[in-house]
Structure 1
């Protein structure tokens, strides 16, 4: 059974099996007049249990045999020999070996069952994640595909005469559908890479204004669709510009989704000092319905769309991806309440060299 454990755990178990009984000897020898053999046996049994928990049955067997040998040599009369002048002590030592082996086996079995239960729980969680992904993808990826397909089919149809305005409208619908599809696929790919730990990160000092501008271009933001408050004397930030752009795209997309038409989102940048270094703080502010304090961390879980009743807006990965990528570049993303109502996403990044 021990073969299923890692080599490191098996080695650790054997270390405990040898070291623990050996350390008990100098501790218990001075107490031989105060403690009887039963007390000594109980303490050596603890060493057996410890070795079983760490390394399984084989280390427990080693601890049992070594413990019985040390008990015989140091704690049964005559001392410092392997002879035993009292038959009761001989029976006690044999019983110790048997009980120690049984206890070690039971402890090892319990530990393995706990590991199996944990593994089963992980598999169940992964299955739930896959089911949620399939359910979300089944609708949210098909919707923009269907819209794009319908628009293209309309453009190719010879049955209906289309005006130039109709052509423009259908092309705009196709463009919007493909943009939504691309965003969904990007988030799916980012989430899969985050879960696999396969995100390459290349940190360097970057002008934040350039990254914000590229994020707005990616979103195709209309004039005054987002209000920008970025100081001219802002220091550079130490980040991966591509990953930070993805973070801002997802934060801004979420803010636009919930902002009322007459109150566009705001990107506000300030500076401050962190525990170890200067920080640059990016706040993406919306004046939408906001999120209760108890639910703010839930928005970073995949497939969560709190307060979002429009099932065509995404599969609930945007903020989860934003939090994961922010962590990857050494940032800290925290949701707070917007004064007057709404949600503010506060992204703190380490400052780089002066820009």
Structure 2
């Protein structure tokens, strides 16, 4: 009888069905000599419709049965009995019950269709995700794997004599390809853990400059490849340093990819002027930027807007960066860089008492 409506909605519907009809009695009984039965039926029908809209067929039937009983007992002659003395009254009461059932059924069907539509949307989204993942696996993951396989095969080949320099070059190629493959797989696993809520987060007081230094070390940036503007007296923030390190490394790597050679990315940290109790980290590039309409799309998995020439990633960097930022109770938003480019702003809460 409850259809596809939630238990909470059905309970509320039954509450309306039971409580509302008696509430009408003190209003309508003094007026029964001036109102005909049709008017009383319409008012009780409003209660049935309310119960149906809230709880579906079951509450509508309860409201209809209770309403019909009250109508017969209080508003049909002879009063205060369950006899119906006129055929017209019988017809009105039957119509009352039929309308109650129809309205409740319509609400129940609407709820079922809404749930089916939501399920279909989820399936469609999952299918798109699977298709994107298969595309990524078919190219981006296979490319470094093929490079590593070719390098190892060259090293094992007995048909070609390799010099020490050639061997070193093949080993370096294989090592780089496997590093890229490892990074891609780790990003996929981290994103899946984030979506499943299974990524461990350890929040504690953290020195931002230390996390940033480790992130740049992991990237292996050359001198002047990134310009830093981090005050020595910057207060500690509350975050997970390991996850924040991944966020900053992803953002700096993305900025380096698009920044022109003569204008390296800028990483600036400061206490937020307009949001007390927070610190902002700005990762600034002067590249082509991202149109305002696309600024949220860049955080979707497998998106590489304006990066058609890049073949070494599957578009997870920014999606992972935002997910990790939110996991450590921070916020990551894009802003246009004055003069052209894109600025990623990470907002983090200050350590209490800092």
Same-fold call, TM cutoff 0.5: yes
Residue 207 of structure 1: how far off its partner (Å): 0.8
Residue 225 of structure 1: how far off its partner (Å): 2.3
The residue that corresponds to 2:127 in the other structure is 127
CA distance in 2, matches of 1:289, 1:302: 21
Q: How does 1:78-89 map to 2 (within 5 A)?
A: 78-89=78-89
- Tell whether the 8 Å contact from 2:289 to 2:340 is kept in structure 1 after alignment: yes
The residue that corresponds to 2:65 in the other structure is 65
The residue that corresponds to 1:237 in the other structure is 237
Q: How many residues align?
A: 354
Q: 1:263-310, CA deviations, whole angstroms, 9 ceiling, x for partnerless residues?
A: 2222110112555x4110001111211111221111112221110112
- C-alpha change, 1:151 and 1:28, in structure 2 (3 Å) is farther
- Tell whether the 8 Å contact from 1:235 to 1:354 is kept in structure 2 after alignment: no
The residue that corresponds to 1:225 in the other structure is 225
The residue that corresponds to 1:292 in the other structure is 291
The residue that corresponds to 2:101 in the other structure is 101
- Tell whether the 8 Å contact from 2:72 to 2:82 is kept in structure 1 after alignment: yes
The residue that corresponds to 2:154 in the other structure is 154
Q: 1:90-121, CA deviations, whole angstroms, 9 ceiling, x for partnerless residues?
A: 32112211221122123212321222122112
- Tell whether the 8 Å contact from 2:256 to 2:265 is kept in structure 1 after alignment: yes
Any stretches of 5+ residues in structure 1 without a counterpart?
none
Q: 1:213-252, CA deviations, whole angstroms, 9 ceiling, x for partnerless residues?
A: 2222222323332222111100111112222122112212
The residue that corresponds to 2:191 in the other structure is 191
The residue that corresponds to 1:247 in the other structure is 247
Residue 151 of structure 1: how far off its partner (Å): 1.9
User: Structure 1 residue runs of 4+, over 6 Å off?
Assistant: none
Secondary structure of the corresponding residue to residue 224 of structure 1: coil
The residue that corresponds to 1:210 in the other structure is 210
What is the TM-score with the length of structure 2 in the denominator? 0.90
CA distance in 2, matches of 1:297, 1:112: 32
Secondary structure of the corresponding residue to residue 272 of structure 2: strand
Secondary structure of the corresponding residue to residue 280 of structure 2: strand
Q: How does 1:323-342 map to 2 (within 5 A)?
A: 323-342=322-341
Residue 153 of structure 1: how far off its partner (Å): 2.1
Q: 1:136-187, CA deviations, whole angstroms, 9 ceiling, x for partnerless residues?
A: 2211111111112222222333333333332332233223222222221122
Is it true that 1:48 corresponds to 2:44 in the alignment? no
The residue that corresponds to 2:8 in the other structure is 8
- Tell whether the 8 Å contact from 2:3 to 2:56 is kept in structure 1 after alignment: no
After the TM superposition, which of the residue ranges 14-23 and 254-263 deviates more from structure 2? 14-23
Residue 36 of structure 1: how far off its partner (Å): 4.2
Secondary structure of the corresponding residue to residue 141 of structure 1: helix
Any stretches of 5+ residues in structure 2 without a counterpart?
none
CA distance in 2, matches of 1:53, 1:285: 52
CA distance in 2, matches of 1:319, 1:32: 69
What is the TM-score with the length of structure 1 in the denominator? 0.90
Residue 193 of structure 1: how far off its partner (Å): 2.0
CA distance in 1, matches of 2:237, 2:31: 64
Residue 346 of structure 1: how far off its partner (Å): 0.7
CA distance in 2, matches of 1:185, 1:245: 18
- C-alpha change, 1:139 and 1:20, in structure 2 (3 Å) is farther
Residue 205 of structure 1: how far off its partner (Å): 1.4
The residue that corresponds to 1:283 in the other structure is 282
CA distance in 2, matches of 1:242, 1:223: 23
CA distance in 1, matches of 2:27, 2:240: 56
CA distance in 1, matches of 2:269, 2:334: 15
CA distance in 2, matches of 1:31, 1:224: 88
